């Protein structure tokens, strides 16, 4: 075996458990973290799944910025999570400029458009943590350098194999060490944590640290599971957990929630089980 293979740590709570946030008597909803998610149209379920996951992962406030014409669709199925309508790009950017926002998520259901690209760049300009998933990755197909130049704060990219290939022009392999090297190279190139999803998810940071998550049953291969994961990461980032640990914790808790549910899992089930997993980790 060649000895230049990248080293990695298997994901386990010991790597991040002590960083999980715990509310105390001085906590208020804003101090517990405000997550702002870009909500798209016509694919509206993805951002709502991410919002549920963010809220169940402990963020004190979760809001979804939604185009005004889609407001009633979002608002009709959300209670504690706020749908914040915008009628124009300046109105959307005003929501992003809110000083109280602790972390952003863009991509689930966002659509592959110039608006998605510009909104992603605007979020990155704040220097606050940003999770870039799904369509926001596809919107930068073969333009990873544009993302890299814009990143000035903590940033997590959560591609599946197809999104990774679109973004970087490199097809991820199945062989673990080569896959780790691919994720690590991407992470160094883009200056962001890369969570390359799959049965074994690779979580790579620009400083060379790599964590491999195997706590993921195959029942996670279901529509929307990735949207939930992205919401969980954004939530932990908004609560002050560093990007690598937030990604590793979210991946492990996501897998554990799926394991607890068992057969017949759909994405909606995951946020409901996150509190039980968190309870066992924080107690
Ligand atoms: N309930 C909802 O509203 C849901 C909305 N979703 C949203 O739907 C939009 C499109 O997402 P899709 O995932 O369908 O489309 P993608 O843009 O991810 O493309 C799917 C295509 O990518 C290729 N691919 C290669 N490797 C893959 C892998 N490991 N996993 C999945 N596809 C792979 C396949 O050829 C597949 O046809 C996104 O905005 C996403 O957030 C999905 O997340 C599913 C659930
Ligand atoms: N065969 C599998 N075994 C374990 N986990 C899987 C498997 N397939 C997918 N996953 C996990 O499920 C999630 C799927 O995310 P993604 O592909 O983005 O789906 P979606 O776009 O529908 O939300 C990821 O967390 C991934 O790691």
Of residues 200, 208, 283, 227, the one with CA closest to residue 46: 227
Ligand 2: centre distance to CA 271 (Å): 15
3-state SS of 120-148 is HHHHHHCCCCEEECHHHHHCCCCCHHHHH
> How high does pLDDT run on average in the chain?
96
Ligand 1 atom nearest the C-alpha of 226 is: 43
CATH number at residue 150: 3.40.1190.20
Ligand in nearest proximity to the CA of 226: 2
Ligand 2: centre distance to CA 222 (Å): 7
Residue 198, annotated ligand binder? yes
Answer whether 250's CB lies under 8 Å from 205's CB. Answer: no
Ligand 2 atom nearest the C-alpha of 222 is: 22
Pocket of ligand 1 (CB under 6 A): 43, 45-46, 108-110, 134-135, 138, 160-163, 223-224, 226-227
Residue 160, annotated ligand binder? yes
Ligand 1 atom nearest the C-alpha of 48 is: 3
Residue range 150-196, pLDDT digits in tens: 999 999 999 999 999 999 999 999 999 999 999 999 999 999 999 99
3-state secondary structure of 165: helix
Ligand in nearest proximity to the CA of 52: 1
Could you give the CA distance from residue 144 to residue 189 in angstroms, rounded to a whole number? 8
Ligand 2: centre distance to CA 48 (Å): 17
pLDDT at 268: 98
Of residues 11, 18, 7, the one with CA closest to residue 209: 7
Is pLDDT larger for residue 15 or for residue 3? Answer: 15
When divided into structural domains, the chain yields a total of 1
Q: 48 lies in a domain?
A: yes
Average pLDDT of 267-283? 96
Tell me which residue range forms the domain holding 261.
30-213+220-282
Q: 131 lies in a domain?
A: yes
pLDDT at 238: 98
Closest C-alpha to ligand 1, atom 27: 162
Residue 103, annotated ligand binder? no
Residue 111, annotated ligand binder? no
Answer whether 175's CB lies under 8 Å from 182's CB. Answer: no
Ligand in nearest proximity to the CA of 213: 2
Q: 127 lies in a domain?
A: yes
pLDDT at 5: 78
Residue range 26-85, pLDDT digits in tens: 999 999 999 999 999 999 999 999 999 999 999 999 999 999 999 999 999 999 999 999
- 1 confidence band (pLDDT: 50, 70, 90): very low
Q: 250 lies in a domain?
A: yes
Exposed / middle / buried, residue 37 (Cβ in 10 Å: 0-12, 13-18, 19+): buried
Q: 62 lies in a domain?
A: yes
| Residue of 112, 195, 221 with the most ligand 2 atoms within 8 Å of its CB, for mutation | 221
Residue 109, annotated ligand binder? yes
- 3 confidence band (pLDDT: 50, 70, 90): low
- 6 confidence band (pLDDT: 50, 70, 90): confident
Ligand 1: centre distance to CA 223 (Å): 8
Residue range 204-218, pLDDT digits in tens: 999 999 999 999 999
Residue range 129-150, pLDDT digits in tens: 999 999 999 999 999 999 999 9
Q: 136 lies in a domain?
A: yes
Answer whether 249's CB lies under 8 Å from 236's CB. Answer: yes
Q: 117 lies in a domain?
A: yes
Q: 9 lies in a domain?
A: no
Of residues 62, 104, 102, 54, the one with CA closest to residue 278: 54
- 2 confidence band (pLDDT: 50, 70, 90): low
């Amino acid at each position: 075996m060649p000895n230049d293979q990248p080293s990695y740590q298997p994901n386990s709570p010991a790597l991040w458990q002590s960083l999980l946030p715990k509310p105390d008597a001085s906590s208020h909803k804003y101090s517990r973290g405000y997550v702002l998610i870009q909500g798209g149209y016509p694919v509206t379920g993805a951002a709502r799944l991410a919002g549920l996951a963010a809220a169940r992962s402990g963020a004190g406030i979760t809001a979804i910025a939604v185009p005004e014409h889609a407001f009633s669709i979002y608002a009709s199925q959300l209670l504690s999570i706020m749908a914040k309508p915008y009628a124009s790009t300046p109105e959307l950017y005003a929501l992003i400029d809110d000083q109280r926002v602790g972390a952003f998520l863009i991509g689930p259901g966002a659509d592959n458009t110039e608006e998605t690209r510009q909104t992603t760049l605007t979020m990155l300009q704040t220097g606050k943590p940003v999770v870039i998933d799904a369509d926001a990755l596809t919107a930068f197909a073969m333009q990873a350098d544009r993302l890299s130049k814009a990143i000035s704060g903590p940033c997590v990219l959560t591609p599946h194999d197809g999104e990774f290939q679109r973004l970087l022009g490199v097809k991820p392999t199945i062989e673990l060490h080569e896959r780790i090297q691919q994720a690590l190279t991407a992470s160094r190139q883009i200056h962001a944590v890369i969570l390359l999803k799959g049965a074994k998810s690779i979580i790579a940071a620009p400083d060379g640290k790599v964590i491999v998550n195997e706590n993921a049953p195959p029942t996670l291969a279901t529509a929307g599971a990735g949207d939930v994961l992205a919401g969980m990461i954004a939530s932990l980032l908004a609560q002050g957990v560093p990007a690598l640990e937030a990604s590793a914790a979210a991946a492990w808790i996501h897998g554990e929630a799926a394991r607890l549910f068992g057969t017949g899992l759909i994405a909606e089930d995951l946020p409901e089980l996150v509190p039980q997993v968190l309870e066992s980790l924080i107690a």
